[in-house]
Amino acid sequence: MPKSSLGSVTEFLQTLVSCGGEADRMGSAQPSNSALAKVLDTDEQQTLLQAPASQDLPQPDQNAASTLANSQLEEHEARMQAEGEAQDLRRRLEVAQEQLAEYAAQREVDAKTMLSQAESLASLVEQGGGPDLIPYLGSLRQGLQDSAVEARNFAAQQRADVERTKRTSHQAGFLYPGGSEARLKRMREDSHPVGLTNGSAHTDGGSAEMETSMEEDERDSEPAAQASTSGSSSGPGSFESRAQFIPLRLSLDERRLLRLLEAALSVSEYTDKVDVLAVRSKVQRIHLQIKDICAILSGLVVANDYKRGQQLITDRSFKDNAPFFQECFELGRRYKVMNPDRMRSEYGKLVYMLMDSADSEIQELLEFKCVRPLRTVHRLLEECGGLAMLKDPHMTTATAEIVAGERPRHEVQRDIKAKERARAQLARKYKSFRLSEDDILKCLYSISDNNSYLLFNRDPVDRMLGYLKHYFAASSPDPEFSLAIQGGSSGSRLTHNHERQFNFVLQSLTLWREISHDMFRLWCTCDDDLLGGQNGYRLTNTGQGLNRVQQAPNVQRVMHSILYRCQQRIGNWVGSAVIHLGDHNVPNALMLIDKYTQVPRILNPVVLVLDALPRLIRDPQLKAYIDKSFGDMEHCRKLILSDFFKHAFDGSGADSFFDAGSCIDGRLTSAWNWGSKLEKKPYYPVFKLAGFTGFDGDFK
């Protein structure tokens, strides 16, 4: 984009506040949208905030009217705050009850297991004992000992949580983070420590079922062998369903508009102005929202077409440019879905602005909708009558992700040529008057982009699953590398024996894999919840700053379907099945998506370090260091893996079981907590030698 155009965006966004007076100097034409002009004119702001009749009242009466208005406003805010606190407390109670039920169910399973062992032991005693008596005694004793340790640690954690809550409440003056600062926004005027929740302990049969449902464990080969992308994602029968959530790749012209949108958002202070508690009235809030939305919209037009933007400032008629605005915002959303590492600071402003633009009052002033559905592969093929291509058997070859790895060059070239031939064949076969070859290739490239996304985001989870199954066994732990954890020790909030922790990690990684596999679907569903305009949000201090707390029923439904699929595949479930969404832990659907896009950022560096160990020991000096410090390469690898599988899944990372623990969200919280303490680990120098720089990546 030319520098002059970018300068126009910056200059315009900085001077738009005075656009009302500027419009008067530009000509005598009357604004076409007088209602919008009334909101945008800065001179009107104070008038909007005062009752028109109060200007004619005597000064004492004006003071009395102002006092009455302020008291009514404070009463309304107090009622909204109380409603927000009640909603949050109700959610906490629901989660606590659910976790208590799960904890009780687990205790029932454990009690039945020990009862069965006791009955078997009694039967053996009646028969005169024998060599089988000792193993039964040992098993029963171990079960009772584990239960006693777990109960003792759990009670200690409960007491510590209660004392911490009392101390925090006394010091801060409120019962939970953000309770006293809750504010409801866009609301219609009418309108754990409860147990370790370990779920059902895995049996050997459950573990075997899990192993057969995933890719087979090649124990005789290198466990980190490159996973195939084609697996469950590229089958011919899956393309039609996947294409509904795969965005189209951006064209060259669309990328120019994307740069324009990013430039406008980078200089915008939308959330800084709108999401503040200083805004005390609905009129002020709408005033700020409209002004900042119009600033961004007008800046886009000015940078793209100066004359057209000049007319827009004069007339303030945004609906004439509605297709242009909708295209800019849609391609920004589409680009983010395909590239989650991009627009990490700008995308939040874009989504929150579009959230506000979906409000009925703001739409009435703008006279158009800023949001249109995402352009997907399925939508394009459906419009052009080309859906039959998704069922073609050549689709797998035409969209496969080719991984070079350590394969010979001629094999890689052979796969590339086969892929190119399949694309050309599909383009010739399905082109028509309505569907051009370029459109077909764009669809194929977009599906290939999805496969590439899965390679870098889903496959690291598959690699960690492979390491878990290769180096550890549920039923026969290595005493030196046992995965057993105890609550209160090394920061752990959970108490698991080796088998239970193995299964807990196994199902957590499986859940992350399925979420990564369905991430594009979650993105599209997130758009429906955030931008649909059906439900409002509360601006609440969640303990991590002010956040928009909003329910997300569609995303919640998809998450529960993914969880149910994992539970059916695994058979039994260790830990809580609570999904935090729409509370202070995960305020809205955007935060949920952002949390799970961190999974590959956490796992990828670990996988790369583990894969780099064979290369490091080729250097004699590095090999000597690893042998001296860790014994050998395999010992070093098992040390890293055992520490990760224990303390990245130990329920740590927060002060209560509501915020961490074994719930669905708490598993990822523990992994974050492990990453924050990596530099204190004895194997951290190995990470640095392998090229590790951090987990966050680039925010540009």
Residue range 435-460: average pLDDT? 92
**Does position 257 have pLDDT exceeding 90, yes or no?**
no
Q: What angle do CA 169, 104, 154 make, to 5 degrees?
A: 45
What proportion of the chain, given as a percentage, has pLDDT over 70?
Answer: 66
Contact indicator for 150, 495 with CB cutoff of 8 Å: yes
The whole-number pLDDT of residue 359 equals 83
Distance of alpha carbon 441 from alpha carbon 449, whole angstroms? 12
Examine the fold and report which residue of 457, 492, 514 is the final residue of a domain before the chain moves on. Answer: 457
Higher pLDDT, 102 or 650: 650
Same domain as 385, residue 282: no
- What is the span of the domain harbouring residue 14? 3-30+249-366
What's the DSSP call for residue 189? S
Euclidean distance between CA atoms 405 and 409, whole angstroms: 10
Higher pLDDT, 658 or 477: 477
What's the mean per-residue pLDDT of the chain?
Answer: 75
Same domain, 345 and 449: no
pLDDT at 49 exceeding the cut of 50: no
The average pLDDT across 333-356 equals: 89
Which domain-ending residue is among 457, 473, 496?
457
- Together in a domain, 320 and 259: yes
- C-alpha distances (whole Å) from 169 to each of 158, 235, 245, 505, 543 are 16, 55, 45, 35, 14
Same domain, 254 and 308: yes
Task: Judge whether 496 and 164 are in contact, CB under 8 Å.
Answer: no
Residue range 107-126: mean pLDDT, rounded: 70
pLDDT at residue 308 above 80? Answer: no
Residue 289 — pLDDT band, cuts 50, 70, 90?
A: confident
* Residue of higher predicted confidence among 182 and 173: 173
Question: Of 115-119, 125-129, 325-329, 369-373, where does mean pLDDT reach its minimum?
Answer: 125-129
Beta bridge partners of 185: 537
Residue 466: pLDDT over 90: yes
**Distance between CA atoms of 333 and 351, rounded to whole angstroms?**
8
Q: What is the spatial distance between Cα 38 and Cα 46, in angstroms, rounded to a whole number?
A: 11
User: Does 264 share its domain with 406?
Assistant: no
Task: Say which residue, 400 or 18, is predicted with more confidence.
Answer: 400
Q: What is the pLDDT of residue 157?
A: 61
- More confidently predicted of 106 and 688: 688
Residue 243: count of CB within 10 angstroms of its CB: 23
**Calpha distance 224→610 (Å, rounded):** 8
Read out DSSP for 651-690?
S-SSSSTTTSSSSHHHHHHHHHHHHHTGGGSTTHHHHHHT
pTM over 0.85: no
Residue with tokens 């599909």: 426
Last residue of a domain, one of 416, 431, 457: 457
| Residue 32's pLDDT band (cuts 50, 70, 90) | low
Beta-sheet strands, E only, within 490-603: 537-541, 546-549
pLDDT at site 192: 35
279 pLDDT more than 60:
no
Q: Determine whether 161 is exposed, middle or buried from the number of CB atoms within 10 Å of its CB (0-12, 13-18, 19+).
A: middle
CA-based torsion, 627, 628, 631, 633: positive or negative? negative
pLDDT tens, residue by residue, 487-543: 777 778 888 888 888 999 999 999 999 999 999 999 999 988 998 878 888 888 877
Q: What is the pLDDT of residues 366-390, one digit of tens each?
A: 788 888 999 999 999 999 988 999 9
* Residue 339 and residue 385 in one domain: no
Question: What angle is formed at CA 134 by the lines to CA 132 and CA 137, rounded to 5 degrees?
Answer: 110
Give the confidence band of 208 by pLDDT, cuts at 50, 70, 90. very low
* Contacting residues for 577 by C-beta, under 8 A, at least 6 apart: 98, 102, 199, 563, 567, 663, 664
One-letter amino acid identity for 127? Q
CA-closest candidate to residue 16, choices 349, 296, 301, 362:
296
Domain tally, the chain: 2
380 and 282 in a single domain? The answer is no
pLDDT at 321: 78
Q: Are 180 and 173 in contact (CB under 8 A)?
A: yes
Question: How sure is the predictor about 462, in pLDDT bands with cuts at 50, 70 and 90?
Answer: very high
Q: Does any domain span residue 310?
A: yes
Q: What is the pLDDT of residue 69?
A: 65
